[in-house]
Amino acid sequence: MLIQAGFDIAFECPAQTPMLLQLNIHPSRDADLLSADTITSNPDLPMRSYLDLFGNRVTRVEVPPGLVTFHNRFVIHDSGEPDETPPDTDFTPIARLPDEVLLYLAPSRYCDSDKLADFAWTTFGKISGGYMRVKAVCDFVHSKIRFSYPDARPTRCASDSMQEGIGVCRDFAHLAIALSRCLNVPARYCTGYLGDIGVPVDVNPMDFSGWFEVYLGGRWYTMDARHNHPRIGHIVMGRGRDAADVPISTAFGVAKLVRFEVVTDELPQPRTS
């Protein structure tokens, strides 16, 4: 399967403003690219990128006063298969988890698992098997939160979502991550592209998506509590403890968002003779 993805995002800045952009795909998907994943700007600005502590590609740019637009379009190959369902293996004992995975058991800015531990163990603690326990968490979160763009709030954390029962994709992910961590399942946040492939078209404008991954049976698996079933075409851009580690943009000054368009479309397969 071929997917065309990209964005047109514009900011209005009253003064010279340094910015960080996390708008490239994750390096783990570079081998699937069929065209360059390159950010361009209008006006044309010098940019350079680096890999952060989580292995995400981050772009540095100095934005002059006025309007600036960032643009990207690329084509990427995808298997066309739904996300793989983990086998229902036993939990990996914490003592045998890789060192680099332990970070994803701790509370973080938006995944305040320390406030939810009693609820998590009371509700899910008797369920055996790693995947079945995580699936029960996803079922709970999917039914607990009502999706609503107008009610998006950048300061909402997992315990807030438990109280408010409303949010957007990142809130579904944060609550599911926090509950998984309570149950000693390492979980990390992902952001990226997810088009309406193999499902009815969403009436809402296309946006970047938030989901999560759990570490089961010695590897990471994709989970999505908002949609709550395997999807086709997740294209990861960044991974971290929660959304604070993978902001789409960070402005060190005033940068008013004036345009935000995201594209994720399945392309027709090329004909073979």
C-alpha distances out from residue 35 to 6, 17, 74, 147, 206, Å: 12, 30, 5, 34, 21
Half-sphere exposure of 166 (CA within 13 A, CB side): 8
Can you spell out the DSSP letters for 10-62?
EEEESS-EEEEE--SPPGGGGGGBSS----EEES---EEEEE-TTS-EEEEEE
Please tell me the predicted confidence (pLDDT) of residue 272: 59
Can you spell out the DSSP letters for 213-225?
EEEETTEEEEE-T
Contact 127, 140 (CB under 8 A): no
Rounded to a whole number, what is the distance in angstroms from the first to the last CA of the chain? 18
Asked whether the bond before 150 is cis by omega within 30 degrees of 0, the reply is no
Please tell me the predicted confidence (pLDDT) of residue 203: 81
Distance CA 270, CA 272 (A): 6
Render each residue's pLDDT in the chain as its tens digit; 273 residues. Answer: 999 999 999 999 999 999 999 999 999 999 999 999 999 999 999 999 999 999 999 999 999 999 999 999 999 999 999 999 988 877 788 999 999 999 999 999 999 999 999 999 999 999 988 899 999 999 999 999 999 999 999 999 999 999 999 999 999 999 999 999 999 999 999 999 999 998 988 888 889 999 999 999 899 999 999 999 999 999 999 999 999 999 999 999 999 999 999 999 999 876 655
SS3 at position 183: coil
Structure tokens at 121: 């163990």
pTM of the model: 0.95
SS3 at position 152: coil
Please tell me the predicted confidence (pLDDT) of residue 271: 66
Please tell me the predicted confidence (pLDDT) of residue 273: 52
Please tell me the predicted confidence (pLDDT) of residue 120: 97
Please tell me the predicted confidence (pLDDT) of residue 22: 98
What the chain holds in terms of domains, given with CATH numbers, is: 2-79+248-267 (2.60.40.2250), 94-241 (3.10.620.30)
Please tell me the predicted confidence (pLDDT) of residue 129: 81
Bridge partners, 260 (sequence order): 9
